[in-house]
Structure 1
Amino acid sequence: MTTPSDARPVAVVTGASAGIGKATARTLAAQGFHVICVARREAPIMALAAELDGTAIVADVTDPEAVAAMAGRLDRVDVLVNNAGGARGLDSVADADIEHWRWMWEANVMGTLHVTRALLPKLIASGDGLIVTVTSIAAIEIYDNGAGYTSAKHAQGVLHRTLRSELLGQPVRLTEVAPGMVKTEFSLNRFEGDDERAAKVYQGVTPLVAEDVAEVIGFVASRPSHVDLDLIVMRPRDQVSGSAGSRFNRRT
């Protein structure tokens, strides 16, 4: 089994190879957790796990068999951070790329479902489990040309909030963290490696960074067991919604 023999509580972080997941793994490790770093890319999580004295598990959250194998390696889970996911494309409904939509629903919704179902018995058995699901302001808003992503994030948020109700009375807390604009690999991945297009997303504003979100997740994980922070929406000062026109463009 992967779970360490020491007394450290165990935190599983999906999508830990970069961005918010990587920053969250570092934050939780600093708080005393043995962090299980989960991602599809082996090299980054192996390096991160070595840095944190944690454990790397290569798994695609959209693959039920891979997720089951991951869960089978763990004796104990105290915290689960559902962070894996992302966006593909920025097209109108009329011009929707069906494969982009399919990927977003699989990664954001089904991935969260697979991992949560697999680890839920261990989270309950811990006596003080915590599930943090990183959604987005796209889980509570819409914006033009973003229906594939916003619909997937809405569904992910509904999954999480329904589980919060279904687990009432169980020793598990559930927190949804919904960030706005965060400067990570998100836009680069959304635009399939187009650096110029990705850079334009952040022009004229000061976005959040991964560490900002990780700090909030660390705060959630440090709350006493009777305190449940249901939904935390966080945005840059320069952003009021997901729509492009809602940002303050500084003139230089």
Structure 2
Amino acid sequence: MSKITLITGATAGIGEACAHVFARERYDIIITGRRADRLEKLAEQLRKEYNIKVITSEFDVRNRQEVISKLEALPDEWKKINVLVNNAGLSQGLDPIQDGSYEDWETMIDTNVKGLLYVTKVVSNWMIANGFGHIVNLGSIAGKEVYANGNVYCASKHAVDALNKGMRIDLLPYGIKVTAVHPGAVETEFSEVRFKGDKSRAKKVYAGFEPLVAKDIAETIWFAVSRPPHVNINELTIMPTAQANAVNIYRK
């Protein structure tokens, strides 16, 4: 087999874009997500367009036992993973702390923090045994700054930032690279998910300026992964030209 990439949350947005970029670069790919129909559709597209091997694994990263069982069930030859892209993540709601939803908080923490940990624990042990690997964690500008009503989402992405640094230390003796990519405004399903399917409200988030798109982040991830063996990109923050920080966006 060629080199292998495992991408979580591959059914849309940045995860899907990463699948295309790594397929273009001749990696065989494991795509995971909750929506089996989208996984199969993407897998078929990748096989047809890039002539690579693709397998799918349907699971919710929030479910620890499901993560472990589905990953361990992969064929042994597919466990020689070169690159893990921890992309699965989301935001729910945009409320001040006193009005926040317990369910939204748990969904964000379980997905963005615990889900990342569950997948990483399994795959990092394979990488240690294999003697190679690169883990890419999808953070956010929300993991570098805190904005009004972003409380728990920002906290979850600050946790990703800390975990990225911790992983880099813990996996250093094994030669495993660890990188975080922290995007600003990227127009994907992100805001639609945050606002529970309210497309009109989601559309306003990106009004009046040119946001990043999923491929911009996928190409940035590829840049980090494609550096020579002695080079590790610890972290990158990438923003639209119109965005200075988490809150300042110039809208025409």
TM-score by length of 2: 0.94
Query: How far is 1:163 from its partner?
Result: 1.1
- 1:59 is aligned with what amino acid? F
Instruction: Report what 1:3 is aligned to.
Output: none
Query: How far is 1:132 from its partner?
Result: 0.1
Range moving further from structure 2, 198-207 or 68-77: 68-77
Instruction: Report what 1:63 is aligned to.
Output: 63
C-alpha distance in 1 between matches for 2:199 and 2:103: 22
Q: Could you list the per-position Cα deviations for residues 187-235 of structure 1 after superposition, in whole angstroms to 9, with x for gaps in the alignment? A: 0000001011001001111100000000011111211221100010000
Q: Does 1:249 align with 2:251?
A: yes
Q: Identity rate of aligned residues, in percent?
A: 40
Q: Is the 8 A contact 1:78 1:126 kept in 2?
A: no
Q: Is the 8 A contact 1:79 1:123 kept in 2?
A: no
C-alpha distance in 1 between matches for 2:164 and 2:63: 19
C-alpha distance in 2 between matches for 1:14 and 1:118: 13
Q: How is 1:1-252 mapped onto 2 (pairs within 5 angstroms)? A: 7-53=1-47, 54-72=54-72, 73-75=74-76, 76-243=80-247, 246-250=248-252
- 1:143 is aligned with what amino acid? Y
C-alpha RMSD of the superposition:
1.0
Range moving further from structure 2, 140-149 or 125-134: 125-134
Structure 1: which 4+ aligned runs deviate by more than 4 Å?
A: none
C-alpha distance in 1 between matches for 2:117 and 2:37: 26
- 1:83 is aligned with what amino acid? N
Q: Is the 8 A contact 1:208 1:235 kept in 2?
A: yes
TM-score by length of 1: 0.94
Number of aligned residue pairs? 242
- 2:105 is aligned with what amino acid? W
Aligned-partner SS, 1:62: coil
Go from structure 1 to structure 2 and tell me whether the alpha carbon gap of 1:152 and 1:74 turns closer, same or farther (over 3 Å shift): farther
Q: Is the 8 A contact 1:35 1:52 kept in 2?
A: no
- 1:64 is aligned with what amino acid? R
Query: How far is 1:74 from its partner?
Result: 4.3
Higher helix proportion:
2
C-alpha distance in 1 between matches for 2:70 and 2:137: 18
